[in-house]
């Protein structure tokens, strides 16, 4: 998920893997439309990878309600993914110089929006920070460090270059015609002792009326449509 996203070094690139759809092309089309409307979607990765599902949405569309839903159903460590270039403009450097994360998830220094929020941790405050992260007019001075939001540096080329939820967040926002900044967090089991897998995620998506798709399907969609 947001917190651990990376193929082991030296394995095949996402583009070289299976060419058969998981949930179908239509699931990606529906997911893009949902993101465009400001909705949350469920995105699963490879069974051989994390075998997890993340709630993902466009950062620019974040509301108190959508972030509250995320907090209720996920680990709560909500991340925001964006390009390395934008992170540099916003002066949000890597959290550590020597990244020892198993999936090389590229955490940057945590942040909060500087003005118009209180402690930074509430759903309303985090939503405001996410919207500010997606605002092209925001500058480095609009944020204080550290904070309660965790920026992730997405790899150039998106999911075709690295099949992580970090890249999926950016790709879905971009394909929806929005600023390429995504919000993401891993979905937990109802008792919070583990992570939901595909059978549970299907039930969860149906129960809450959420579109479900996969990173694999997003890769195939992007290759087929040259996007």
Who has greater pLDDT, 166 or 102?
166
Q: How far is CA 73 from CA 4, 66, 76, 83, 210, in A?
A: 18, 11, 8, 26, 13
User: What gap in Å lies between CA 125 and CA 149, rounded to an integer?
Assistant: 10
Q: What is the mean pLDDT of residues 59-85?
A: 97
**DSSP structure string for 112-166:** EESSS-SSS-SHHHHHHHHHHHH-TT--GGGEEEEEEEEEEEEPTTGGGT--SHH
pTM: 0.90
Is the predicted pLDDT of residue 11 greater than 50, yes or no?
A: no
pLDDT grade for 97, boundaries at 50, 70 and 90: confident
What lies within 8 Å, CB to CB, of 160 at 6+ separation is: 14, 15, 219, 222, 223
Q: How far is CA 20 from CA 13, 30, 89, 111, 218, in A?
A: 16, 18, 39, 39, 12
pLDDT grade for 49, boundaries at 50, 70 and 90: low
Min mean pLDDT across 93-107, 145-159, 160-174 is at: 93-107
What lies within 8 Å, CB to CB, of 174 at 6+ separation is: 158, 180
User: What gap in Å lies between CA 3 and CA 5, rounded to an integer?
Assistant: 6
Q: What is the mean pLDDT of residues 22-29?
A: 96
Report phi then psi at 225, rounded to 5: -100, 0
pLDDT at 221: 97
pLDDT digits (tens, 9 = 90+) for 154-200: 999 999 999 999 999 999 999 999 999 999 999 999 999 999 999 99
Dihedral (C-alpha) 118, 121, 126, 129: value to the nearest 10 degrees? Answer: 60
Is the predicted pLDDT of residue 6 greater than 80, yes or no?
A: no
CA angle 211, 216, 52 (to 5 degrees): 65
3-state DSSP call for residue 33? helix
Six-digit token pair at 94?
A: 């890597």
User: What gap in Å lies between CA 34 and CA 210, rounded to an integer?
Assistant: 8
Half-sphere exposure of residue 178: CA atoms within 13 angstroms, side-chain side: 28
pLDDT at 100: 84
CA angle 125, 153, 224 (to 5 degrees): 110
Q: What is the mean pLDDT of residues 132-150?
A: 97
Q: What is the mean pLDDT of residues 67-85?
A: 97
């Amino acid at each position: 998920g947001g917190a651990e996203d990376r193929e082991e070094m030296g394995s095949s690139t996402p583009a070289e893997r299976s060419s058969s759809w998981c949930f179908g092309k239509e699931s990606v089309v529906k997911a893009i439309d949902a993101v465009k409307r400001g909705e949350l979607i469920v995105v699963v990765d490879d069974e051989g990878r994390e075998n997890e599902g993340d709630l993902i949405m466009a950062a620019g569309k974040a509301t108190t309600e959508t972030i509250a839903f995320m907090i209720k159903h996920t680990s709560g460590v909500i991340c925001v993914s964006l390009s390395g270039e934008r992170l540099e403009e916003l002066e949000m450097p890597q959290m550590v110089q020597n990244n020892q994360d198993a999936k090389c998830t590229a955490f940057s220094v945590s942040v909060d929006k500087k003005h118009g929020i209180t402690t930074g941790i509430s759903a309303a405050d985090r939503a405001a920070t996410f919207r500010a992260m997606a605002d092209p007019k925001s500058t480095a001075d609009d944020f204080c460090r550290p904070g309660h939001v965790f920026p992730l540096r997405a790899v150039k080329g998106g999911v075709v270059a690295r099949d992580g939820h970090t890249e999926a967040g950016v790709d879905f926002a971009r394909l929806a015609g929005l600023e390429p900044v995504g919000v993401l967090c891993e979905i937990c089991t109802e008792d919070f002792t583990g992570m939901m897998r595909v059978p549970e995620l299907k039930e969860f998506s149906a129960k809450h009326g959420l579109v479900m798709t996969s990173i694999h399907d997003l890769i195939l969609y992007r290759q087929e449509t040259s996007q």
